[in-house]
Structure 1
Amino acid sequence: MGYMLGVFGVAIVMFASTNIDDIFVLLGFFADRKFRLRQIVIGQYLGIGALYGFSALASFLVLVVPATYIGLLGLAPIYFGVRRLWELWNGIETGDDPEDHTKASAGHGNIVAVTLVTIANGGDNISIYTPIFATRSAYEILTIGCIFAVLTAIWLAAAHSLVNHPTLGAPIRRHGHRIVPFVLIALGILIFYEAGTATLFWR
């Protein structure tokens, strides 16, 4: 029992400490009418799943990806931030009818956007998860993955609740979509800076 509690504790600390900033990114997505709840949920799970899966694979292969190359993922949030800023500047709003099946491709694009931003935001998590997974059994890694899935649901629920809060929800929904582009661009630049990716271009 104590052994399993230890695994649970490690998983919770790993997830919470490396994904605390993800709450703010999710707030932005939920506040943006362009994104549907289903698209955000699917994209978030795909992103977290990709980070977890790559870290697990890397731990088995004893593979460590240099942080400077992981930092290239910062291009994703910068791209989506600039694109959303351009849409806002040109007055392009997407209050589309969710039943309009002709918008399916746009919906898929939103899922990809959430997925890539989640991966980019958590790209440095790989360097944390990989050595921890390398010291764990396959059963423990699988258990941690299940806990990550539950915690991802909690993260999504917390962000969604804040956006729909009686007091806090209105200003978040009113101004959140305008702040999102700047948050994404800043996030991408921060990822570049922290990973030292700029040195790849200076060499």
Structure 2
Amino acid sequence: MNLGIVGQAAGLFAVTNIDDILILSLFFAQGAGDRGSTRRIVLGQYLGFLAILAVAAAAALGATFLPEAVIPYLGLLPLALGLKAARQAWTDRKDSEDDGDELEGAGGPGALAVAAVTFANGGDNIGVYVPVFAGAGISGMSVYAVVFLVLVGVWCFAGKFFATRPVIAKALSRWGHILLPLVLIAIGLLILVEGGAFGL
């Protein structure tokens, strides 16, 4: 295995997915106290990233799974999930004004919700990965895919690590139910605006 390609793949992954650590931390904080939440979040992250890799690899090999004009509209996924999370946070707040444990009781997001956010947030990454994959050929693309999938696990570990640090966990448990919808809505709007969706 070419160490140069491994290093390039690691660097490319880190640069294009740095924002995922914040989102994963928020997801892990939301699922704190629920035994199955870690498994669902990790599964969702892998499903979303496998979808990104599949689309990028297919495009690099000449197939067009996803027309370029559609990619900006992926911003609708995190936007919708963010609005849903905001509504849920508002409902939880009204149901128990003084509870303070909204995140711990929420059970965390489902695997498909995490996958949708991961895919939508990584939609712009597809445009970066396609030319790199096309230039790397089949064997190089395989190395990129393996490195990326290993690093998805590292990212999940980092997100869980940050969400369980006492100071960060306390802040996330206090503000995470507000931060998660805001971050998802901001990501959705950013994807829509940067991609020029709806003529924005």
1:29–1:177 Cα contact (<8 Å) kept: no
Distance 1:169 1:142 in 2: 37
**Aligned pairs (5 A) from 1:89-108:** 89-91=90-92, 95=105
The answer as to 2:135 corresponding to 1:135 is yes
Residue in 1 that maps onto 2:56: 55
One-letter code of the match for 1:20? I
Distance 1:14 1:165 in 2: 27
Number of residue-to-residue matches in the alignment: 188
Residue in 2 that maps onto 1:41: 42
Taking only the aligned residue pairs, the percentage that are identical comes to 39
Residue in 1 that maps onto 2:126: 126
TM-score if structure 2 supplies the norm length? 0.85
Distance 2:187 2:47 in 1: 19
C-alpha distance after superposition, 1:103-130 (max 9, x if no partner)? xxxx8x7111100100111101111100
Q: For structure 1, which runs of at least 5 residues remain unmatched after alignment?
A: 99-106
2:55–2:65 Cα contact (<8 Å) kept: no
1:32–1:177 Cα contact (<8 Å) kept: yes
1:62–1:134 Cα contact (<8 Å) kept: no
1:44–1:115 Cα contact (<8 Å) kept: yes
Distance 2:87 2:168 in 1: 27
- Once the two structures are TM-superposed, the CA of residue 189 in structure 1 deviates from its matched residue by 0.2
Distance 1:173 1:6 in 2: 41
The 1:171/1:162 distance shift into structure 2, 3 A limit, reads same
Q: For structure 2, which runs of at least 5 residues remain unmatched after alignment?
A: 96-101
One-letter code of the match for 2:105? G
**Aligned pairs (5 A) from 1:66-81:** 67-81=68-82
C-alpha distance after superposition, 1:164-188 (max 9, x if no partner)? 1133222223321221011111110
Correspondence for 1:32 among 27, 30, 46: 30
- Once the two structures are TM-superposed, the CA of residue 62 in structure 1 deviates from its matched residue by 6.0
One-letter code of the match for 2:26? G
- Once the two structures are TM-superposed, the CA of residue 67 in structure 1 deviates from its matched residue by 4.6
One-letter code of the match for 1:23? I
Distance 1:123 1:46 in 2: 14
One-letter code of the match for 1:167? V
**Aligned pairs (5 A) from 1:98-177:** 110-177=110-177
Residue in 2 that maps onto 1:19: 17
The 1:110/1:64 distance shift into structure 2, 3 A limit, reads closer
SS of match in other structure, 2:167: coil
Distance 1:31 1:68 in 2: 35
SS of match in other structure, 1:137: helix
